Structure 1
């Protein structure tokens, strides 16, 4: 099919692998490689390659003079934001709400349970053929604070419900009421942190959350509390967290770090009472089916001239 100006769709998944794509658009496969599949000036709908970093995400933007929609396959948009100034006004930026909730919430619960129940020590004991029996903390009867109560935060609470927690406290940018109860404003954290046994971070990374978990935040957490980060590494001040871990006062389970990937020799690797996974919250078998459904739905609406979903912002 011959390309027509501003009719191309750049996809990081081959078009023939996605059911339900509308006709009338020219699909180009690009997963972040050095060569572009076509002239960026002809791209109308750009799907950002998944987990390729900000340099790859932003590289073609300066040539996309006629693009109308930029679609991420991640819940966060922080890797795209540095390149938004390269775009013309009126471009719609959409995220992947609905794709990562199940997987990220699964991992959040996995990190909580593995850390509380001592699984890192058990794995080490198995390697050394040591039988490390004893009593370990349970999630039951614990107070859990979820910081970042969007769709992922709500999915985390869904999975906390069967575990008989003493309570789940919700925090978001601004206060509101849900069917489950109140969502507290982020300004209430100094009052809420001392009451939590487990603090789960699921907030987006932006100017207001960069370094949110600083020395003051951590100092407000009760002794022995567990910090779980499935948000972005930049939400946490790594130096401040290291100080608390090395003192033995707090514990942490981290799917994301700052810097990331965590370099060889970084002290966080071997800090006491920390469990680290390599940013795998969304990269599971659940990702592709949900991502394909999202893209088919978004492109069907786009081809029909209907509003796209998951709109985060429009460039100006």
Structure 2
């Protein structure tokens, strides 16, 4: 008898959320709950569709992949997939890697606006004053009448502009990998960055981490920003050169609001913690009350497509 083809035999779906909490899933699969615990809940070789645990780290996320010999699809719950790309050679040929484009748009855009407003209006200083029972009033910059540059104009960048619209910005400029037109105006290519940067009062980084964008916000980028400008990073920490940013912060020329850092998590004692003019949040752009309902909808949609043989959404790479 010929040996059983593991890709044909595999019928398990690994989910980081208990299947009964997701609801509405196709009944043609066996569902297994695994959220990066030390023990695998089932034979990984029987897994056909793997939904990667959310924010559990790259090491935990890729751990079962070498044993998932029947795998056909991997679904992340993050927009960025840089933590999964190195594992692509460990996936069976033809396995599709899908990201979560659209899942975090609302939450991340909301935080980008929150960081921008909080940094401009000096909210961290007011919180410190409150702790000291000190009434420290004064004039602060407003977002109104400012020029904002969004670097990385995918679905998150577009959602950020949606939320900027009511704030009476003087102008919103958009930069992405390639030029295109949108209903709100032109998206300029990366080559135009040097010309646009000096005009921006606020620069919001929302680009994915790729070989092109790693270290994009370095000393040359920062030097072109105008005095007193605010850098907001809701992308990935490694898009920004931390040493170059520290030099600008310590000089007092620029301010920053960072949801992501390099290194991350930012270790105790790192100079970025206490650099002047910086507001830091611990990579919380995605994890909010908006996450769970959108993650469940994504899983239901993708697994329904997988069950019926329809093309999956958001395929970013295929193992070969």
Same fold (TM over 0.5): yes
1:218 aligns with 2:222: yes
Aligned ranges 1:286-297 → 2 under 5 Å: 286-297=290-301
Q: Show the counterpart of 1:39.
A: 43
Two-structure CA RMSD over aligned residues (Å): 0.9
Deviations 1:47-78 (A, max 9, x none): 00000111011111111122111000011101
In structure 1, C-alpha distance between the alignment counterparts of 2:131 and 2:9, rounded to whole Å = 60
Shift of 1:210: 0.7
Q: Aligned pair 1:275/2:290, yes or no?
A: no
Correspondence for 1:234 among 223, 233, 238: 238
Per-residue CA shift, 1:216-245, capped at 9, x if unaligned? Answer: 110110100000000000100000000000
Distance 2:72 2:92 in 1: 9
| Partners of 1:175 and 1:52 in 2: CA distance | 35
Instruction: Tell me which residue corresponds to 2:165.
Output: 161
- Indicate the residue corresponding to 1:181 in structure 2: 185
Q: Deviations over 1:268-299 (max 9, x none)?
A: 00000000000000100010000001000100
Partner residue in 1 for 2:289: 285
Match of 2:305 in 1: 301
Partners of 2:188 and 2:280 lie apart in 1 by 29
2:114 corresponds to 1:125: no
What residue is the counterpart of 2:17 in the other structure?
13
Write the distance in 2 (CA, Å) between the matches of 1:29 and 1:291: 15
Runs of 5+ consecutive residues of structure 2 not aligned to the other structure: 1-7
Deviations 1:128-166 (A, max 9, x none): 111111110000000000000000000000000000000
> Aligned partners of 1:149 and 1:55: how far apart in 2?
29
* Structure 2 counterpart of 1:170: 174
64, 67, 73: which one aligns with 1:63: 67
Q: Identify the match of residue 270 of structure 2 among 242, 266, 272.
A: 266
Relative to the length of structure 2, the TM-score reads 0.97
Give the distance between the partners of 2:10 and 2:210, measured in 1 at CA. Answer: 31
Please give the alpha-carbon distance, in whole angstroms, between the structure 1 residues aligned to 2:203 and 2:236: 14
Give the whole-Å Cα distance in 2 for the aligned partners of 1:58 and 1:171.
32
- Residues 5 and 43 in structure 1, CA contact (< 8 A), matched pair in contact too: no
State the Cα distance separating 1:257 from its structure 2 match: 0.4
Instruction: Give the equivalent residue in structure 2 for 1:197.
Output: 201
After TM superposition, which residue ranges in structure 1, 4 or more long, deviate above 2 angstroms?
Answer: none
